[in-house]
Amino acid sequence: MNKEQLFEQIKQKKSFLCIGLDPVLNKLPKHLLKYNDPILEFNKQLIDATHDLCVAYKPNTAFYESYGAKGWQTLTETWKHIPNNLFTIADAKRGDIGNTSAMYAEAFFNEEGSGMSFDSVTVAPYMGKDSVSPFLNFKDKWVILLALTSNEGSQDFQTRQSGDDKLFEQVIKTSSQWASTDQMMFVVGATKAEAFENIRNLAPDHFLLVPGVGAQGGSLAAVCKYGLNSKCGLLVNAARSIIYASDGLDFAEKARAEALTLQQEMEQILGAAQLI
C-alpha cells in the first residue's frame, strides 16, 4: 500500500488507528481454548469485529515466535485473514548485515517464499544503512525505523547527546536520506508526547507509528497536537487496551467498543484539523 492509498483509507474510515495483535495464550477468553489454534481464532474474531474502525493491524512477531513453528503458522494465517484494504505491519524490530536483512525482507514481503507479504516491517537502526536498504528494494513496501521508543530503556542510548543532536535525532536525520517518505516511517512512542514538536521539525512529511496509547499510558490528544501533518502522518497503535478489553464471551464486542471510542476521538481530531 502506498502513501496516497493509506491517506485515502484514513479519510474513508475517519481513523488512524492501528491495532496491535499481541496475543498470549493464558490471557485468552477460556471458551477459545477448544479451538485447534485458539490464538488464530482470537485474532480472526478481533479482526472481524474491528476492521472497519482501524486502518492498520500490527502483529508483534515475538508473540508468535514464542510458540515456535506453530506460532509462525498462526502469524501467517493471521496475516491472510486481514482484509486487503488494511495496512499491515510486521512488528519485528529486525536488522542485520545486508545479505541477512535481504532474507528478513523475503520473510516479511515475499509471499511466494514465506507465505506472507506485509506492507511494512519495523527495523532497528543500530546497524546502519546497509541493514535497512534491502527492505527498500520491494516496491510499495515500507521500513518503519525505531527512533524514540515508548519504554524506559529509550533513555539509555536514544536520548544521549551526540554533538548537537540526541541519538534518535541523528537516526531520523541520517535515515531520511536513505528513502523517501513513501517508503519510510519512524516509531515514536506516545509516552514521549513532548518530543513530537521537535520530531515534526525533523520529519515534517513522514508517517509516524505511535505505540504507547492505552496500556502504556500515552495520550492521543497530546500526540496529535504536534504529530498531525497534512496527510495525517500518524498511525496510533493500541493493543492490550483493545484486545484484552474483556476475557469473556463478549471479548470481540468489547474490543470493538474500545476501538470505536478511539476511532471517534480520531474522527474529531481529523475534523478539527480539516483533514476530513
Provide, rounded to whole angstroms, the least separation between the CB of residue 65 and its own copies.
4
Residue 264: all three cell numbers together: 471517534
By CB under 8 A, tell whether 36 contacts its own copies: no
Beta bridge partner(s), residue 186: 145, 208
The secondary structure of 178-245, three-state, reads: CCCCCCEEEEECHHHHHHHHHHHHHCCCCEEEECCECCCCECHHHHHHHHCECCECEEEEECHHHHCC
Of 13, 93, 166, 192, which one is the catalytic site residue? 93
According to CB under 8 A, which one of 22, 41, 169, 258 is a site residue for its own copies?
Answer: 22
Nearer to its own copies, 84 or 163 (CB): 163
Active site residue 13: no
Nearer to its own copies, 91 or 119 (CB): 91
Q: Which residues contact 227 (CB under 8 A, 6 or more apart)?
A: 188, 196, 199, 200, 208, 210, 233, 234
By CB under 8 A, tell whether 167 contacts its own copies: yes
| Nearest one of 176, 190, 181 to 148, comparing CA atoms | 190
By CB under 8 A, tell whether 67 contacts its own copies: yes
Provide, rounded to whole angstroms, the least separation between the CB of residue 239 and its own copies.
10
Residues that bind its own copies (CB under 8 A): 22, 24, 60, 62-63, 65-73, 75-76, 91, 93-98, 100-101, 103-104, 106-107, 110, 113-116, 124-132, 146, 149-158, 160-163, 167, 170-171, 174
